Amino acid sequence: MPPDMSDSIHIVVLPGDGIGPEVTDSARQVMEAAGRRYDVTFDWDEHVFGGVAIDHSGHPFPEETRKACLSAHAILLGAIGGPKWDAVDAEMRPEAGLLALRSVLDAYANLRPVKVSNTLAHLSVLPPDRVAGTDLLVVRELTGGIYFGEPRRYTKDEAFDTMRYSTGEIDRIARIAFEQARARRGRVTSVDKANVLASSRLWRECVSAVHAESYSDVELDHMYVDNAAMQVVRDPRAFDVVLTANLFGDILSDLASTLAGSLGVLPSASLGGVTPLFEPVHGSAPDLSGRGEANPVAAILSGAMLLEDVGHADSADLIRRAVDDTLSAGSMTCDLSEQGVSTSEFTDHVCDVIAHIPISPTII
């Protein structure tokens, strides 16, 4: 049972591997800066996870870390993995720890917002005039489907996996997507492969039923995954909320992430279970570790998503505005600019902007 939040927000921090510790430290500093403006306090509880946990205890998701995660208000994760642990048995690799964490939390809804501002549009793989103003949200089912379905088998001569969904699993993720759309522009695009896959036919039927029963005010359309991938590239601004299954969501969210020009600016949240989990989309980038060149924007914005989820939308909005203002002022890390600033310099700039943004006094 998560603790009472009347005094402070109890956050378990899993810095992880590579640049994970650097970007989570930046996120903590920025969250503290925003918290000071709105009298929000934090109770930070750091634990090992991923490759560093393998080195420490022989397991990517130690029992002590598991217990801590289940007792927190929220979890802030940095990044995991790296070549150092490539030779570890599959069931003990850092990535297995991440799948186990999601399963333990039952965090079945992965939210990946992709926003492309005019400031960063020139960095996209697409022409700036096509991508500027993109504001889409991928809602990915995270704890079912082919990544978890049974039976599965691997031999040197044959291998198979099972893509399995129940109506309950589809119902709950669909409701998350429709609720998100209500708070945005009111449109859900449900992505499947119903012309081929039985699981996708059930997916389409169930999403349609949930829509008809409870969300007729939200616009719904269905799209095959191959067409969706093409349309994300062709006209990304046409999408609002994209709802899809685990495998398709993995692919489409990674594809959509290229629109922003850098994985370093994209946050994510995994919700719906015991404890919400927030993490940047990017990997551990071990080649950048310790060089002060990591882009902390994705981790900082993940912290903003965390604050919004636990009821501090004002602090979250303050962070987002400060990040936008900092980038617009030309302060960017080296993945975004040839004259890039360091991780710590960017973080300091965001904190300084937060300290000086006028905010309206609270009226009681």
* H runs (alpha helix) in 44-151: 51-57, 63-70, 94-105, 128-131
Whether residue 226 lies in the annotated active site: yes
84 is catalytic: no
Q: Which residue has the tokens 């079912």?
A: 144
Residues 6+ apart with CB under 8 A from 118: 128, 132, 133
254, 309, 314, 324: the active-site residue:
254
For residue 115, indicate whether it is catalytic: no
Q: What is the helix, strand, coil percentage profile of the chain, to 5?
A: 45, 20, 35
Q: What is the dihedral of CA 68, 71, 73, 78, to 10 degrees?
A: 20
Among residues 17, 115, 165, 193, which one is catalytic? 193
**Catalytic one of 17, 25, 108, 147:** 147
Count how many residues are written for the chain: 364
**In this structure, are residues 283 and 187 in contact, taking their beta carbons and an 8 Å threshold?**
no
Crossing angle of helices 20-38 and 343-356, rounded to 10°: 10
Could you say which of 226, 235, 287, 352 is catalytic? 226
283 — phi, psi (to 5°)?
A: -90, -165
Positions annotated as catalytic residues are: 147, 193, 226, 250, 254
